[in-house]
Amino acid sequence: MPDHTSAELPGSPGPAAPERIVVVGYGPVGARFVDELLPLVEAGLAELTVVGAEEVHAYNRVLLADYAVGRTDRDTLDLTDGSRALAAGARILTGTTVTEVKRTIRTVTLGDGSSVPYDRLVLATGARANVPTLDGVKRVRRGLIKPGADAGGLGATALDWAGAPLPRGVSALRDLADAATVLAAVQAGQRIVVLGAGVLGMEIALAAAAAGAEVCVVFHGEIPMNPNLDRGGGSVLTRSARRAGVTMVNHARAESVLFHHDDDGVERFEALICADGKQISGDLLLLSCGVGARTELAHLAGLPVSTGILVDESLRSWADAAIHAIGDCAHVAGRPADADSGAAWNGARMAPAGGPSGLIGPGWRQADSLAARFSAEIRAGVAAGRPAVLAAAVTAEPAPALGAGPGASVVMLKAEGIDVVAAGDTAADPFDVDARYNDAGYSDTAHTHGCSSDPAPLAVAQWADPEHGRYVKMVTRGGILTGFVCVGMPRTGAELTLLFERGSELPADRSVLLRFDGPDYDPATAGDAFAPESTVCWCNGVTVEAISTSAQAGNTTVACIGTATRAGTGCGGCKGRIGEVLERFAAQAVG
């Protein structure tokens, strides 16, 4: 790639040189950013270098669970082959790591010692699986690694498992190699112990059980998906999972791992030991204890980090306007006043709001937003005859906060025969609302502190049928839906998701919403669910109108809609809804 100098100053002869953009990370979010930036590259206004640690091009990690149980093949995971980017002149370095960011001279150092200059650096390093504290499993404090140092065998050139490999029989489902390990266990009908009952843990447990594996889920709390579900919803999910063949072990604090030795003398997982003495044996221990942002590269470069790399609403680093972060490595938060920055930078006082969501949709929206801003700034700079970086400083306006809002907080569990969707704050209980709130809707605590800014009354409606795996809870303030849990009621869940998205007021008779999953439900009467502005694909923000327009252009299958609009290419949970929209479109066309 040519070694361009920085863009020329106003008044200098000749056109400004292309902007040098380096992207570190070639996962789903990094690849989305690259795709959105290609028109700028094709126009010769930017030079793009992409550095990815994995040997392969970007693939959809959200669908790894499906691949790991043999439900889909490898090709369906691919998001790009990089052909268009390469044809445009982009440089894509797979199987390559970045070991250092030199901010003063604006270069990144690669694992082979070479360096790449940048005008703008985008960190899309994603997240890695958390390794819990277990006797027998080595953990590394990655944030303390220094360039060239060797912390317990882990150097700056190997920021993942290289210096602390997981023992045999212990895995975390984060990449293709992990998926291959799980697939082998599933195909052999082995016993899989899943540690952690979050949405990903439950998805892989249910999928593996459906594929014929013996599965046990071990978790510390009372209910699965504890951050998202209330006690009622979690309890119904537990019963449904047990019916599906998954053993659920709650109130179990894992402490250590018991090993046996293979024929070659290497230790292999045999059992998980809990604090109360329970010994849960298995052939594979699958860690599903959440994820942590990959922040060590930013940390080593002196950038402020918290639960992720701290960036403002425009996705710029708090400390360096030339560096940006998107996806699971980013923590979006307003930059504090200089007087407060020292306290905030250490991360100790940072609230988790704006931190990595673990969902692909918010990351894709960040990629789209940042690429659009880069394009606008660089084109504006060229038009004004000034350097693009200078144009950014002059013309850029703060982008809306990304990763926030109702869409980012909707969580869906993908499992055959078990539908779970939850959003917002569902902690309120229908039988203690009156005790905690007076007739005007104020909490007693708020009155004690002189806070009376929200007079809207709080109300909770709840319906449960545990025997049949059904549960619905709706939390409203002033009639507006602010949170809900829906288990085993897919159509009701879809309707509540739409109402939550819009901040709509619920009908006075909440039971009306339960009829969507009744035996006499007629989709043709649910006109609101098919309103043009209704969101169908949350990951990509695709509406009913966009799908209908694409269908008019001849894309009449779910696969074709995915190719044309990206709907259904994220978590895949909306494919049923896409099918319903297409069926309705076809019926209207015939009529």
| One domain for residues 381 and 445 | no
Q: What pLDDT is recorded for position 92?
A: 95
**Global pTM value:** 0.80
Tell me the CA distances in angstroms from 435 to 363, 428, 431, 438, 442, one per residue in order. 40, 11, 8, 7, 11
For residue 5, what pLDDT is reported? 38
pLDDT for res 480: 92
pLDDT value at position 552?
A: 80
CA–CA separation, 45 and 322 (whole Å): 17
Tell me, yes or no, whether 474 lies in a domain.
Answer: yes
Please give the single-letter amino acid code of residue 5: T
Supply the pLDDT for residue 417: 83
Whether 240 and 251 map to the same domain: the answer is yes
The confidence score (pLDDT) of residue 241 equals 96
Element (H, E) at 535: strand 535-537
Which pLDDT score is estimated for 150? 37
Same domain, 25 and 100: yes
Question: Are 542 and 509 in the same domain?
Answer: no
pLDDT in the model for residue 212? 92
Amino acid at 52: G
The tokens for 205 are: 């447990």
Domain housing 187 = 157-289
Give the range among 21-30, 259-268, 430-439, 465-474 with minimum mean pLDDT: 430-439
d(C-alpha 67, C-alpha 75), whole Å: 10
Please check the confidence at residue 517 and state whether its pLDDT lies above 90.
no
**533 plus 469 within the same structural domain:** no
> How many other CB atoms are found less than 10 A from the CB of residue 299?
17
- Classify residue 379: in a domain, yes or no: yes
* Residue 10 binned pLDDT confidence (cut-offs 50, 70, 90): very low
Domain assignment present for residue 101? The answer is yes
**What is the pLDDT, as a whole number, of residue 160?**
44
Pair of tokens at residue 89: 């002149």
For residue 530, the domain's CATH number is 1.10.10.1100
Alpha-carbon gap, residue 188 to 190, rounded angstroms: 5
- Examine the domain organization and report whether 95 and 27 are in the same domain: yes
Which residue in the block uniquely carries the two structure tokens 């889909």? 72
Task: Classify 224 as helix, strand or coil.
Answer: coil
pLDDT given at position 111:
92
> Is there a single domain that holds both residue 527 and residue 487?
no
Q: Which residue's entry shows tokens 């952690």?
A: 196
Is 192 within a domain?
A: yes
**Euclidean distance between CA atoms 248 and 339, whole angstroms:** 49
> Going by C-beta distance under 8 Å and a sequence separation of 6 or more, which residues neighbour residue 140?
151, 152, 154, 163, 164
Model confidence at 385, pLDDT cuts 50, 70, 90, reads low
* Tokens 């100790």 sit on residue: 348
Q: Is 340 contained in some domain?
A: yes
Residue found under tokens 């949709």: 361
Asked if residue 430 and residue 488 are part of one domain, the reply reads: yes
C-alpha 100/C-alpha 297 separation (Å) is 7
Q: What is the pLDDT of residues 451-481, one digit of tens each?
A: 445 557 889 999 999 999 999 999 999 899 9
pLDDT at 441 over 50: no
pLDDT per position as a tens digit, 66-124: 899 998 888 888 888 889 999 999 999 999 999 999 999 999 999 999 999 999 999 99
- Between 316 and 404, residue with greater pLDDT: 316
User: What are the DSSP calls for 359-400, one per residue?
Assistant: -HHHHHHHHHHHHHHHHHHHHHHHHHTS-HHHHHHHH--PPP
Instruction: Answer yes or no: do 190 and 264 share one domain.
Output: yes
Q: Among candidates 535, 555, 557, 554, which has minimal Cα distance to 545?
A: 535
Q: Match 């959105």 to its residue by tokens.
A: 36
| Side-chain-facing half-sphere of 485: CA atoms under 13 Å | 27
**What is the distance of C-alpha 443 from the center of its chain?**
33
Q: Which of 515, 534, 559 is where one domain is finished? A: 515
Q: Which residues contact 501 (CB under 8 A, 6 or more apart)?
A: 406, 407, 410, 535
User: Measured in whole angstroms, how far is the alpha carbon of residue 177 from the centre of its chain?
Assistant: 20
Boundary of a domain, candidates 491, 515, 539: 515
Residue 190's CATH number: 3.50.50.60
What average pLDDT is seen over the chain? Answer: 81
Confidence of residue 355 (pLDDT cuts 50, 70, 90): low
* CATH number assigned to the domain comprising residue 425: 3.30.390
Residue with tokens 């020329």: 8
* Domain-ending residue, one of 461, 490, 515: 515
pLDDT digits (tens, 9 = 90+) for 173-231: 888 999 999 999 999 999 999 999 999 999 999 999 999 999 999 999 999 999 899 99
pLDDT digits (tens, 9 = 90+) for 238-297: 999 999 999 999 999 999 999 999 888 889 999 999 999 999 999 999 999 988 899 999
Burial class (CB in 10 A: 0-12, 13-18, 19+), 72: middle
Residue 9 lies in a domain: no
Statement to judge: residues 504 and 556 lie in one domain = no
Question: Do residues 335 and 262 share a domain?
Answer: no
Q: Are 206 and 196 in contact (CB under 8 A)?
A: no
3-state secondary structure at position 434 = helix
Length of the chain equals 591
Closest-CA residue to 395 (of 408, 382, 409):
382
Bin 418: left if φ > 0, else alpha if -120 < ψ < 50, else beta: beta
Tokens of 570: 């994220």
Question: Given this model, what pLDDT does residue 576 score?
Answer: 75
Number of folded domains that form the chain: 4
Q: Is 319 contained in some domain?
A: yes
Say if 14 falls within a structural domain: no
Least confident of 153-157, 428-432, 512-516: 153-157
Q: What tens digit of pLDDT does each residue of 144-176 get?
A: 444 443 333 333 334 444 445 789 999 998 889
Residues 370, 249 share a domain: no
Site of tokens 């966009």: 546
